[in-house]
Structure 1
Amino acid sequence: MATAEAAPALIRFAVRAAAIFGALLVCVPLHYLWPLLGRRSPWPRRFLGMVGRIAGMRVRVRGTPLTSHVLFAANHLSWLDIMLVAGASGAAFVSRDDVARWPVFGWLARLNDTVFVDRSDRRAVQGQVDTLRAALAGGQPVALFPEGTTEGGTGLLPFRASLFSALFPPLPGVRVQPVAIDYGAPGSEIAWTDSEAAGANARRILSRRGTVPVTLHFLAPLDPGALGGRKAVAAAARAEIEAVLRPSAAGADRL
């Protein structure tokens, strides 16, 4: 029985992996062609969105993502989160520096203007903050996962206020837009924790049967200046996301 089940899973993995490779072959030449036409390349982000769809994710967007001068703050379950949010919003990401060393995806992350954060080197923090501030001030949509990890699974861990340091002193016109990523019931199967190797998780997701409806909730933007500090921004963004993902718990917290 196990062998009979393994064969279709292997076929699904092979077909999806081939489709991702095919999308890469299409998007990479177009990425390098676009600057020759005097235009900013949308192809890294489009490719990331394609990967999410090939992996079986079917995205529905609720709310309107801001298009510039915005820091998206989203909950974090899986590497798929990057594909889905980038595909829907065109955002670059703030990511752990080790992602830069991942095969293929590290290269794609660099093409997508990812801001890599080395949390082990405190001396580099100010330079990273300055890089993020420059991106935001220039209008680049940027996204981050304030939990800093996927270890929370379908739960919602505390948001790290330090990740919002680049917002202060406040930048003119820059807003924080919370994003609630809702995989529904399959979320427990999608979630990726440190107990599972990256390659094993990718194989499992790409071998999965069927599709997963995912809702991206782009919530009301927050004004960092009006909130007054990074801790207040982190708390407000988390509360907005929790109100969507766990409405009963969020309501109880307000009582």
Structure 2
Amino acid sequence: MRWLGVALVFLTIVPLHVLVSLVWRRDAVPPIFLGLMGRVAGLRIRTEGVPCRGGLFLANHISWLDILALAKTSQAVFVAHSGLAGHGGLKWLCDQNDTVFITRDRRGSVASQVEQVRAALSDRPLVIFPEGTTDDGTALLPFRSSLLSAVEPLAGQVPIQPVALDYADAAAIAWFGDEPGMTNVRRILSRRGRIELTIRFLEPLSGEALANRKTMTAEAQQAIAQALRLPLAAQIP
């Protein structure tokens, strides 16, 4: 039944999005589309706290469901690995929500990535997953600070908000290790029952936490680890 729901959402929303993009705004429909996809996949979301308008979200990363959930609750835009840009249909979907593609494994590209992130800051929040990949929900992976260079000069002007994604059964839905993406999608869509998720929009960073990108990263990681009651991984550059 969930596969049928996915097909119905695509057939209904994609033509609507194309029409709305021609006569109004391209960013109006994608958050609705992503939210509906999350609902079809079984997501049931509860929120705590208030998402900041604009600025930067720093969130832990468990699953592709994270993107559907944050788009629904905050109309967010995302930073994603450039590997996704190699898949035509998926890239088109990402482009419709103004995804920022970066290449994390090329050190020489950090400066250009910083400019991409800075340019993407707008009224819609921009989400970075500082772990750089998904995990199994048992501990936070080390947070990376390099992309926060984009907002370092704007500290105190642009809100920088940690966001804790707390799944009731993270280990069962997590996408990590060697599991292929489509295998995980099929596994999630074949599940019965709901996927309960609490999104905790934590207090924006302030004071000494805004001193530089490393302090921002460390404070965000600590806040999320405390909210999720998870072990705190060591910070890396």
Match of 1:175 among 138, 153, 159: 159
Alignment RMSD: 2.0
Number of the residue aligned with 2:99: 114
User: Is the 1:90–1:141 contact (alpha carbons within 8 Å) kept by the matching residues of 2?
Assistant: yes
User: Is the 1:224–1:233 contact (alpha carbons within 8 Å) kept by the matching residues of 2?
Assistant: no
Match of 1:200 among 179, 183, 196: 183
Number of the residue aligned with 2:20: 34
d(CA) in 1 for partners of 2:32 and 2:61?
20
Please state which structure has a larger fraction of its residues in helix: 1
User: Is the 1:71–1:141 contact (alpha carbons within 8 Å) kept by the matching residues of 2?
Assistant: yes
Match of 1:125 among 110, 130, 134: 110
d(CA) in 2 for partners of 1:219 and 1:95?
22
Match of 2:30 among 18, 31, 44: 44
Number of the residue aligned with 1:233: 216
| C-alpha distance 209-103 of structure 1, shift in aligned 2 (>3 A) | farther
User: Is the 2:209–2:219 contact (alpha carbons within 8 Å) kept by the matching residues of 1?
Assistant: no
- Return structure 1 stretches of 4+ with deviation > 6 angstroms: none
Match of 2:150 among 166, 179, 185: 166
Using the TM superposition, give the Cα deviation of residue 154 of structure 1 relative to its aligned residue in structure 2, in angstroms.
3.2
Number of the residue aligned with 1:79: 64
Q: Unaligned regions of 5+ residues in structure 1, if any?
A: 1-14, 251-255
Using the TM superposition, give the Cα deviation of residue 122 of structure 1 relative to its aligned residue in structure 2, in angstroms.
3.2
Number of the residue aligned with 2:48: 62
Number of the residue aligned with 2:235: none
User: Is the 2:77–2:98 contact (alpha carbons within 8 Å) kept by the matching residues of 1?
Assistant: yes
Q: How many residues align?
A: 232
Helix, strand or coil at the partner of 1:180: strand
Number of the residue aligned with 2:84: 99
Q: List per-residue Cα deviations over 1:181-234 (Å, max 9, x = no partner).
A: 1112x2110111122111111111100011121100011111488621111000
| C-alpha distance 171-36 of structure 1, shift in aligned 2 (>3 A) | farther
Using the TM superposition, give the Cα deviation of residue 153 of structure 1 relative to its aligned residue in structure 2, in angstroms.
3.4
TM-score (norm 2): 0.90
| C-alpha distance 154-105 of structure 1, shift in aligned 2 (>3 A) | farther
d(CA) in 2 for partners of 1:181 and 1:226?
21
User: Is the 2:61–2:133 contact (alpha carbons within 8 Å) kept by the matching residues of 1?
Assistant: yes
Number of the residue aligned with 1:221: 204
TM-score (norm 1): 0.84
Q: Unaligned regions of 5+ residues in structure 2, if any?
A: 233-237
Query: Identical aligned pairs, as a percentage?
Result: 46
Q: Which amino acid aligns with 1:87?
A: K
d(CA) in 2 for partners of 1:211 and 1:104?
27
Q: Which amino acid aligns with 2:50?
A: T
User: Is the 1:153–1:193 contact (alpha carbons within 8 Å) kept by the matching residues of 2?
Assistant: no
Match of 1:154 among 138, 143, 147: 138
User: Is the 1:74–1:180 contact (alpha carbons within 8 Å) kept by the matching residues of 2?
Assistant: yes
Q: Which amino acid aligns with 2:228?
A: L
Number of the residue aligned with 1:88: 73
